[in-house]
Amino acid sequence: MKAAVVSSFGAVPRYEEFPAPAAAGENDMVIDVIAAGLHPRVRSQADGSHYTSTGELPLVPGIDGVGRGADGLLRYFILPDTRAGAMAEQTVIDTRRSIVLPADSDPIAVAAAMNPAMSSWVALRQRVQFQAGQNVLVLGATGNAGQMAVEVAKPLGAGQIIAAGRSASRLAGLAAAGTVLLEGDAETVASRLGRAAADVDVVIDYLWGEPAAAAMVAVVTDRADRGKPLTWIGVGSVAGSTAPIPSAALRAARLQILGSGQGSVSTREILAELPVLAREIAAGTFDIDARPVPLTDVEQAWADAATTTRRIVLTP
């Protein structure tokens, strides 16, 4: 079969022959892949930098997707850590890690939106006891996942939602109660952010790195009530994999830091959220900007993914 194949972590995947996968376990099912999202997680899988990487090659990237098996049902699936990923004509899924979609679902929209939408949805539903009316700061709100976090927090009952990011034009398009531009000298950014986020309860952080550490200091410093719990959920790391957080930030306010992702949330907990997320996607709750690209053009898709804000979805 044809697939996107990574033969070296220094090179982009190429459209090549790859052995067709076979079902092994009793819950396995061979799936004809219809759509697979090119998420940042997939890029880090393909360049070997993701924390789950075993370093084994060759591999077919792709962690999730939409496809149809021999039973004729349309499914969204999440793959386990495997070298036979979703960016192929076929893959093998564990049916327990899939949900059956309504037959009229849009495979491109589902493949584009599930991963970014899940980041905040699962964090707020499974990692914290999120209460209606709590205020949320989305740090790094201009990417696919960040924009959706603003849309996700609303149906989950958020009070005020503050969106912070470094693109003024994309911030302007968000339906947030307040926006903070993370551009300019550090002092100005800190004071802008501290004022806007003085009363937040939960931070959904896509940045990590230096910007997150600086934001944490700013939010703690300007906090209206330092005794009020502040939960900082690390969900992404687009600005750096380590963050120099000063000890004082942890001691000066009632701050707790946790993460949400593969490992800190179990597969069972993630799967429990998928049916309702699929319904929200079908209902048009999220603004999905997907660009379908044929799998034959995978090399160009990889180059484009580094610069486009649209979520590329490969279609075998």
Ligand X SMILES: NC(=O)c1ccc[n+]([C@@H]2O[C@H](COP(=O)([O-])OP(=O)(O)OC[C@H]3O[C@@H](n4cnc5c(N)ncnc54)[C@H](OP(=O)(O)O)[C@@H]3O)[C@@H](O)[C@H]2O)c1
Torsion of CA 11, 310, 44, 12, to 10 degrees: -10
Residue 105: CB minimum distance to ligand X, A: 20
Binding piece for ligand X, criterion CB under 6 A, among 2-10, 114-122, 191-199, 216-224: 114-122
To which residue do tokens 């990417």 refer?
143
Instruction: Scan residues 144-183 and list those touching ligand X (CB under 6 A).
Output: 144-146, 165-167, 182
Q: Which of 288, 316, 295 is nearest to 144 (CA)?
A: 288
Binding flags for ligand X, 282-301, as an x/- string (CB under 6 A): --------------------
Shortest CB 273 distance to ligand X, Å: 11
Q: How far apart are CA 36 and CA 52, in angstroms?
A: 19
Residue with tokens 């004071």: 191
Cis geometry, peptide bond prior to residue 13 (ω within 30 degrees of 0): no
- The Cα–Cα gap between 123 and 113 comes to 16
Nearer to ligand X, 27 or 52 (CB): 52
Instruction: Kindly state the smallest distance separating residue 228's Cβ from ligand X, in Å.
Output: 25
Joined tokens for residue 299: 């090399």
User: Taking every pair of C-alpha atoms in the chain, what is the biggest distance, in angstroms?
Assistant: 60
CB 171 within 8 A of CB 142: yes
Task: Return the residues of window 45-74 that contact ligand X according to CB under 6 A.
Answer: none
With contacts defined by CB under 6 A, how many residues of the chain interact with ligand X? 27
Pairing state between β 136-139 and 202-205: parallel
Footprint of ligand X on 229-268 (CB under 6 A): 235-239, 260-261
Residue with tokens 């006891």: 129
Q: Closest distance between ligand X and the C-beta of residue 13, in Å?
A: 17
Shortest distance, CB of residue 218 to ligand X, whole angstroms?
14
Residue choice 61, 65, 211, 316 for contact with ligand X (CB under 6 A): 211
Interaction between residue 127 and ligand X (CB under 6 A): no
Q: Does 38 bind ligand X (CB under 6 A)?
A: no
> Rounded to the nearest whole angstrom, what is the least distance from the CB of residue 148 to ligand X in the complex?
8
- Find the shortest distance in angstroms from Cβ 69 to ligand X: 25
- Residue 115 is a binding residue for ligand X (CB under 6 A): yes
The piece of 69-77, 101-109, 139-147, 246-254 that touches ligand X (CB under 6 A) is 139-147
User: Any contact of residue 143 with ligand X (CB under 6 A)?
Assistant: yes
Residue 192 binds ligand X, judged by CB under 6 A: no
Tell me the residue nearest to ligand X as measured from the CB.
Answer: 143
Identify the residue among 41, 97, 125, 223 touching ligand X (CB under 6 A): 41
Cβ nearer to ligand X, comparing 84 with 145: 145
Structure tokens at 148: 């959706």
CA-CA-CA-CA torsion sign (69, 71, 73, 76):
negative
3-state secondary structure 98-162: EEECCCCCCHHHHHHHHHHHHHHHHHHHHHCCCCCCCCEEEECCCCHHHHHHHHHHCCCCCCCEE
Shortest distance in whole angstroms from residue 96 CB to ligand X: 19
Distance set, CA 23 to CA 15, 26, 57, 77, 162 (Å): 23, 8, 21, 15, 46
Contacts with ligand X, residue ranges (CB under 6 A): 39-41, 115-116, 118-119, 140, 142-146, 165-167, 182, 206-207, 211, 235-239, 260-261
